[in-house]
Chains A and B, each alone.
Chain A
Amino acid sequence: MATYLEFIQQNEERDGVRFSWNVWPSSRLEATRMVVPLACLLTPLKERLDLPPVQYEPVLCSRPTCKAVLNPLCQVDYRAKLWACNFCFQRNQFPPAYAGISEVNQPAELVPQFSTIEYIVQVKEPQASPQTPLIFLYIVDTCLEEEDLQALKEFLQMSLSLLPPDALVGLITFGRMVQVHELSCEGISKSYVFRGTKDLTAKQIQDMLGLLRPAVPMQQGRPLQTPEQPVISCRFLQPVHEIDMNLTDLLGELQRDPWQVTQGKRPLHSTGVALSIAVGLLEGTFPNTGARIMLFTGGPPTQGPGMVVGDELKTPIRSWHDIEKDNARFMKKATKHYETLANRSAANGHCIDIYACALDQTGLLEMKCCANLTGGHMVMGDSFNTSLFKQTFQRVFSKGYNGEFRMAFGANLDVKTSRELKIAGAIGPCTSLNAKGPCVSENELGIGGTSQWKICSLDPSTTLAIYFEVVNQHNAPIPQGGRGAVQFVTQYQHSSTQRRIRVTTIARNWADAQTQLQHIEAAFDQEAAAVLMARLGVYRAESEEGPDVLRWLDRQLIRLCQKFGQYNKDDPNSFRLSESFSLYPQFIFHLRRSPFLQVFNNSPDESSYYRHHFARQDLTQSLIMIQPILYAYSFHGPPEPVLLDSSSILPDRILLMDTFFQIVIYLGETIAQWQKAGYQDMPEYENFKHLLQAPLDDAQEILQTRFPMPRYIHTEHGSSQARFLLSKVNPSQTHNNLYAWGQVS
């Protein structure tokens, strides 16, 4: 039987979609018996170098409750110029512009290889308001150590050269007080100072900043606008190309928060108020346009709304133990504060990034919703004064192959399904748009109750997990045509501020599970299934007790093995899984031990950080996170991937481990001794020098591109940092069984 591996790979490359099942069980009952739900990972803006966008708008089905986009699955009558929607079967007339189409002259969107296609939305003259440029609002903590603040200032100055030149930029600094800086080209710098202890409503903030008065048209080398049209800037958010010199000076002059920190106390970070003011400022000036609120913080919020810990150092910040014992005083209230801000921000299409660098926790647990709901970044480090932070921060502004920024904004994802399927929900960096309709299932998995979600900020790797429900009744006949279909329509704001629409339409065969189980089985995508189950597990872990999630995961694995394994009763050695399932148990094994589900040995902030990244990466990176990749370099042959197992650790090997968050290079005992003896410097042992260099070169490839930049650990046998490797490998060989030669490992 042909494997589906190639089919799966081709579909992923073309459409950015991976389904857990590629042949679908045709009834609800059978689908639930499959254990792993019918679901997919979708990368809406997957980088497609061979897909130039078309310069016209999509043709939509005319049924108001449908509005599906014309796609290759639709039946077309070229003579009558009619097309039949494959979702609702409505017959639609082609628009006049399509008068010339025929079988040999098809529009791109009907060609099967364009199952994924991108449209550019034309702005209709003369009502066109000037496209609002992208907005970057920096919120900077000034309660940092001197070197940290100096480094951060320089990196912010650097970032001004990396922003799109017509972008608007703003600055809020905070410590004990919160200062909103008025950016102007005049000599004097002004700022509005707010107390860090008092929360204000959006209206109060806008009033105090003078934003409620009618806007004064400003001379900016642009034709003067009529008073009714919004001014494309305000005193606090100015175009980078006009304000760069002043802002560079302003940043350069930033001082450490002047308020003395007495011994035994923490500095007063008024993060909650600072963020509140930023959200209110943008809400009042530029709602519904792409914007990044970038919070740079060096310590936990210690005063005002959203405070996470008090200012007494003797009271430590909450640990998992505290949370389990219900001993985290500020957690609920702080989380609610940030959740409210996150929802407001998401409603306006603004994303919130958190760049937190400190040796202790900074309150990522309470603030995580800001990044998770809006699609903003979360970067966690020890100090701003590191090349690791600098390089990660640079990559926020990275550009793709075509020289365009990778970041995109204001995405609206709409999913349509053929009538045998409904949508149960999505898990990823998005919020619900509460779009009810015939496609929406009552059973929710993840963010459900909707067929539309909003992703305020995304890039070509952002991936959502979408869960479906088969609703066909048991023993109902397979739908006519034998295939079910799903359409993903993502409207978004490109970094050039152009509005675009990406449409992906896919179809898969239905099969009767009772007579054709082997087809369904062969089309199982174990990698996608593992990641989809993992996202469900991590989603549950946020609200349920840890042990319950592990029990659930174990039960699902057992049920799947019962359904699809071949075995003889009472004979464990007879258990076999077919090739399309054989790796799945391993993935679940490593998932159970992963920091996404095991909080032991991680702080609440660290767990939040790991989970944040897990919930948005594409399949390949997600798998690396679940089951880190291990490569072995030795004299015995070319570099090869090896099992993530203690038996892979040999004295005459170098191992390269990629966990996504760390790159670990581990020298085996003999290799380390050779290196210590200096053989790499002797000309006759040049091949040893190459062997030492090979993993370093391969590590560079990963280090140069990944966001966030991984921590790089170079270690060897016996060194304390070897623990990064030893804690990840399956301990199949331990001091207990090392001598048990007779046992099957």
Chain B
Amino acid sequence: PPSAPADPAAPPPRALGPPPQGSVGASPRAEGRPSAACPEQEECSVSADTVLAPLRAALDACRATVQKQVCNDIGRRLTVLEDAWAQGKLSAPVRKRMSLLVQELQQQHWDAADEIHRSLMVDHVNEVSQWMVGVKRLIAETRDLPTRE
């Protein structure tokens, strides 16, 4: 139906009727997208220790072969992470994903752990930038350790 032309002397516009009900016709081009609700937004009850303890253990394993300065640097950043966590500065998605990262690290899935670190850097850079590079380095150094059983 043609639209009513705008005219200064026109009568007031007709009262707005509701939109039609029922099907829209063929579904829009985009396929159904995954729900926007992110599971990470649920209450996250990961404790700091479940994340920090394995990281510190990994660091200890590196001390024998990796340069002292590098280990100290990583250690320093793990402390920053620990403090930030204790002070409640980290959001739920960050805490959740860190626990996933640690799990991957413990299972020696280096690439997966690396991917998680990258995704955290990209999505939450302002929260993680101070200490994440230490975790990144820890993954890299642990991966390069002489083969373990």
Contact = CB atoms under 8 A, between A and B. Distances in A.
A679 B18 CA distance: 8
Interface in A205-232: none
B39 interface: no
A638 B117 CA distance: 41
Given A245-B77, A638-B25, A161 B30 contact: no
A248 B133 contact: yes
Contact of A241 (B73, B118, B132, B140): B140
A157 interface: yes
Contact of B130 (A241, A252, A673, A679): A252
A479 interface: no
Interface string A654-694: 00000000000000011001100101000011011011011
Given A638-B25, A679-B19, A687-B21, A158 B122 contact: yes
A244 B129 contact: no
A687 B133 contact: no
Contacts of B122: 158, 161-162, 394
A245 B74 CA distance: 8
A158 B24 contact: no
Contacts of B3: 650-651, 669
Contacts of B107: none
B133 A244 contact: yes
A338 interface: no
B125 A155 contact: yes
A125 to B, nearest CB: 25
B70 interface: yes
B121 interface: yes
Given A154-B125, A248-B133, A687-B23, A162 B118 contact: yes
B22 interface: yes
Interface stretch (A457-465, A519-527, A563-571, A629-637): A629-637
Given A157-B129, A245-B77, A633 B19 contact: no
Interface string B8-47: 0000000010111111111111100100000000000000
B21 A684 contact: yes
A482 interface: no
A436 B126 CA distance: 54
B20 A697 contact: no
Given A394-B122, A635-B20, A635-B25, A698 B136 contact: no
Interface in B66-115: 67, 69-70, 73-74, 77
Contacts of A101: none
Interface in A121-136: none
Interface residues of B, number: 37
B73 A252 contact: no
Contact of B137 (A154, A244, A669, A693): A244
Given A252-B130, A687-B21, A739 B30 contact: no
Nearest to B126: A154
A241 B137 CA distance: 8
B19 A636 contact: no
Nearest to A155: B125
A638 B25 CA distance: 6
B129 to A, nearest CB: 5
Given A158-B122, A674-B16, A698 B28 contact: yes
A165 B118 CA distance: 12
A449 B21 CA distance: 65
A701 interface: yes
B5 interface: yes
Nearest to A159: B121
A49 interface: no
A666 to B, nearest CB: 15
A23 interface: no
Given A245-B137, A394-B122, A673 B16 contact: yes
B24 A697 contact: no
B75 to A, nearest CB: 11
A394 B110 CA distance: 22
Contacts of B73: 245
Contacts of A435: none
A154 B129 contact: yes
Contacts of A685: 18-19, 21
A562 to B, nearest CB: 37
Interface in A678-732: 679, 684-685, 687-688, 690-691, 693-695, 697-698, 700-701
Contacts of B129: 154, 157-158, 248, 252
A160 interface: yes
A636 B69 CA distance: 68
Contacts of B137: 244-245
Nearest to B22: A687
A161 B28 contact: no
A649 to B, nearest CB: 9
Nearest to A685: B19
B16 A677 contact: yes
A253 to B, nearest CB: 11
A390 B137 CA distance: 23
* Residue of B21, B33, B137 ringed by the most chain A CB atoms within 10 A: B21
A670 B129 CA distance: 47
A185 B140 CA distance: 17
B134 A245 contact: yes
Interface of A: 154-155, 157-158, 160-162, 165, 185, 241, 244-245, 248, 252, 390, 394, 633, 635-639, 650-651, 669-670, 673-674, 677, 679, 684-685, 687-688, 690-691, 693-695, 697-698, 700-701, 738-739
28 contacts: A157-B125, A157-B129, A161-B122, A161-B133, A162-B122, A185-B70, A241-B140, A244-B136, A244-B137, A245-B133, A252-B130, A633-B28, A635-B24, A637-B25, A638-B28, A639-B28, A650-B3, A679-B18, A684-B21, A685-B18, A685-B21, A690-B28, A691-B24, A695-B28, A698-B29, A700-B30, A701-B30, A739-B5
The 7 closest A-B pairs by CB, nearest first: A694-B28, A697-B30, A638-B26, A248-B133, A161-B121, A688-B19, A158-B125
